[in-house]
Amino acid sequence: MRRVALIAVPYLWLLALFLVPFIIVLKISLSDYALSIPPYSPTLDLTTGWEGIKSFFGSLDFENFTFLTTDDLYWKAYLSSVKIAVIATFCTLLVGYPIAYGMANAPDHWRPTLMMLVILPFWTSFLIRVYSWMGILSTEGYLNQLLIGMGLISEPLMILNTNTAVYIGIVYTYLPFMILPIYSTLERMDASLLEAAEDLGCSRMQAFWLVTFPLSRNGIIAGCFLVFIPTIGEFVIPALLGGSDTLMIGKVLWEEFFNNRDWPVASAVAVILLLILIVPIILFQRNEQKQREAEE
């Protein structure tokens, strides 16, 4: 009974906060738009008995999913979101790996301080941090003022309301999710392996590519998944830092829910987004399982 009770806690958590909301969204995605509250039909009325239940399920259809295939906006938004997520994940890796490598090779008494600096942005509101980049990247922002003051440019750069600003915001926001798993992997690496490689004639650069980088692969994979998965559905960063040409599915989803009030179509968009994310989530879980088995 103790084992069952222990296992039941996470399953009840997933049931209440994932499965039940997903079923509700799936039901709305199979409904029809209606000028009512809520703005969809049918709604389940148990007072009518079994006939009402049969009528309820008989009214559900896949018209909203069919509609998504007829409008180019949606599949373009999915492809654009995947492209932006891939590029942003790669940029985050390029920035995060050297930081994690430096932390892992820093003196022991410096590592807690460096770790605190990495997680320090989480002490500030996510919205405030994104809004701050608006002040930095705007035409009259601090970045342009600095570059003009240093004489590097003569006219302000148009960075805000572009995809470049979105990449900057994503890299800054999700950088700790890339650094921490890579740092955790590098910190546990046996330093004697590098010494053995150098004794066998490898230079430091060769030892890095032949020993350090392959051994940090699990951390790299975990960090990439932790950045890629939430980035696909990101809404706040493209809405605040991106322009009208920035097309991401999270932005389209918000507009369908709150601007168009078309909850059935928005729910269909959300269901497909979740199905797309299932693939990297499963791959991430398999990678974590293999890593745990290797450690055992």
- pLDDT tens profile 210-228: 888 988 988 999 899 999 9
Question: For the residues 39-67, what does the mean pLDDT come to?
Answer: 83
Most distant pair of Cα atoms in the chain: their distance: 82
Q: How far apart are CA 100 and CA 115, in angstroms?
A: 10
pLDDT at 113 over 80: yes
The single-letter code of the amino acid at 162 is T
pLDDT at 245 over 90: no
- Stated length of the chain: 296
Residue carrying structure tokens 């890095």: 208
pLDDT at 296 over 70: no
Candidates 77, 118, 99; CA nearest to 232 is 77
| Cis-peptide, bond into residue 156, ω within 30° of zero | no
Structure tokens belonging to residue 268: 């269909």
pLDDT at position 83 = 94
| 14 — pLDDT class (breaks 50, 70, 90) | confident
| 295 — pLDDT class (breaks 50, 70, 90) | low
**List of residues 6+ apart from 121 with CB closer than 8 A:** 129, 172, 176
pLDDT at position 56 = 79
Contact 31, 62 (CB under 8 A): no
**CATH H superfamily, domain 70-295:** MetI-like (1.10.3720.10)
Q: How far apart are CA 55 and CA 9, in angstroms?
A: 36
pLDDT above 90 as % of the chain: 33
85-94 pLDDT, tens digit per residue, is 999 999 999 9
Indicate the pTM of the whole model. 0.86
Question: Which 3 state secondary structure label does DSSP give 41?
Answer: strand
